[in-house]
Structure 1
Amino acid sequence: MLDFSTASILLVDDNPTNLSVLRQALKELGLNVRIATNGEEALEQVQRKLPDLILLDVQMPGIDGFETCRQLKSNLLTQDIPVIFMTAHSNTESKVKGLSVGAVDYVTKPFEQEEVLARVKVHLQLRYLTCALQQTNETLEERVKQRTDALQKAQVQLVQQEKMSALGQLVAGVAHEINNPIGYIAGNLHQAELAVNDVLGHLRLYQAIFPDAGHAIEENAKNIDLEYLLSDLPNMISSMKVGCDRIKNISTSLRTFSRADKDSKVLCNIHDGIDSTLLILKHRLKANEQHPDIEVITEYTELPLVECFPSQLNQVFMNILANAIDALEESNAGRSFEDIQAHPNQIRIQTQLSPDCQWVVIRIADNGIGISEEVKQHIFDQLFTTKAVGKGTGLGLAIAQQIVVEKHGGAIEVNSLPGPGTEFIINLSLKSAT
């Protein structure tokens, strides 16, 4: 759970009153608060020390909040800092513009302190979850790297067991850590939704019984755009619940990938294993400065459950997909971002039944540089690799072949030529193999 005493907020507003009120309220939560009175000052402060969240006014002297946010999102060091806009404009155009430049949320002036604090809490918790997941991924990558030398000297069976055990424990741990805070958030959101509905119903009752509310109340309702708030507040809570459900789905996929194999085979949905593996590799599929997103095209046919060792098959998918990503990155050498965008990197995954309905066929193809006939002859050999020293163990495809052929009585083959790309074909029998 997030310790608010370690979190920092950058509050950007040219109105001294707003700064004073919000600063005091945020400090009462235990947050470390820094202030800036314009966009230029905010950008300078962010360069000196990264905050966990930014509350950003839209209308300011010099560069406005929209431009400040654009500059933050264009900088690799600051692009992941969540930004909440504070604006007196409640029209849809302003909100859409704010979200389009990278803001995660907005509050409308004049604001309620409780609303601002609630939104700050939610986005700090989400920021905490994201950072925790990134740190765990970095830890996992570091551990795998440290084990590379040992893996090269170990036998294939030992490598398979140790690697999947370590990966499974780490991923299962991530799923567990996600479940705790998201359960707390989801539970509170449910109660908040009930409370908000009660309050809104009570307010509607007041409006019905006392339609002549008086000038002061009517003026205030107009200033805060009461009707819009009444309709929008349930939508906000609904959106947060959707976000919680999405994180729960991610946690479920992580547990699917990391489940430990039993002594005997179990019936398994092959598509679940592929999808959970893609989730683990998602960070490598995303765009960066060198290339756009790697497109993953899944063409699934409805399949029966397959009797197998699920965790071992997940390792096969992991090794083949990771090799496909490596091949695509290698094929990008010397190509411009625009050229790659026009002819995108793709991984295509197809599943189908064999004509006699006795086998499940899984095809994983990339449109990378392909491999030569000479390399193809040795691709499943132990310790054979075409990657640079320290980049590959030469065991991934050897392990994949052993799992598919020896453990599952199936077959694995590769089709490739230099240029068109590479396709791996996995055949798994629907009859139990001993």
Structure 2
Amino acid sequence: MKVLIVDDNPKIMAIAKVHLKKESLEVLCVEDGKRALESAHREKPDLILLDVDMPEMSGFEVCQALKDDTVLCMIPVIFLSAADDNGSRIRGLDLGAVDYVTKPFDSFELRARVRAAMRTKQLQDQLATLNQDLEKRVEQRTDKINQLLRQKDAFVNQLSHDLKTPLTPLLALLPMVANRTEDIESKRMLDLVMDNVKYMKNLTEMTLQLAQLNSSRISLKLEKVDLISEIGNVIKSLSSLFEENSIKVVNNTSSPLYVEADRMLIMEVFHNLISNTVKYTNGKGFVYFDAIIDSSETITVSVRDNGIGMTEMQLKRVFEEFYKVDDSRNDRSSTGLGLSICQRIIEKHGGRIWVESQGIGQGTTIYFTLPVRQGELETPASVGSLKQR
């Protein structure tokens, strides 16, 4: 390993050089600060012994220059100085030196301090090498993962295309065949086939959408969206669904709350959440909509029902792709992807989504958050009141 001694006193340099060579070190010597910086750039020493009191450029100034240099800043510095006051010691250490040795120095002490500094430098170099190796491995692994993700996206896109192609004529032709069939049993079987074809089409489209949402290349069509207005719109558009299932809607939102969002995707979140709510709420149930702005400048929306509720195990798995709770495993209207898609959409907007339930028969509440649109914080702090969580 290599040591650079910087001292304007040739005798001190010679003595230090003799002792350090006993440590099997390569020793370089220069007599002023300017040459020290030039030598440090050229030789890249593993340690610098630096005198404090030198003409033109003091040791403190040299140390400052070393620590300001992105190439040389990691070279450890030990000050050699006749100044034995605490002020000089503290200043040297504050500048980034690893040690401070006073003159005249004891040769054994100097060698011990140099050995300690060299051990630290070796450990630093090993750590730097490990970090570089780790960064390289992470980069390689990331490239591999991205390659696999691209392959997966391409596969899903191709698969969806290949599945949709034969489904299109089936969707068009099966109703025509059913209309021409008079046999009741044949009509029943055709209706069953049609239901399964529709399910396959829906599953294919949702699988493709989920793959697109998983891709980092998806771009959101952001615009100013009044979340409260959209809640009202989706309630109005689905009013017949609520009536058919004898579900009463309670909308506790009123004042505008603006977010920067992709309107179509946010509407899809509401449609998916409401579909789940209707599916698992028995007749004459209730659905509550609430929204607030909390102290972290995010809007929290909740959709709460008094339906069948969920177990702790179901809550843990509810966002898994293709997961269906027990009552819907054979339900052809459910793909098991609705909440997974909601999660991807909300996370793409910088928010989060979660589900709470006190258990079977206790209803379910789905919460999601979205960042408040910049410049809209003058909106009233609360619209509606979320259930305490």
Same fold (TM over 0.5): no
Normalising by structure 2, we get a TM-score of 0.40
Highest CA radius of gyration, 1 or 2? 2
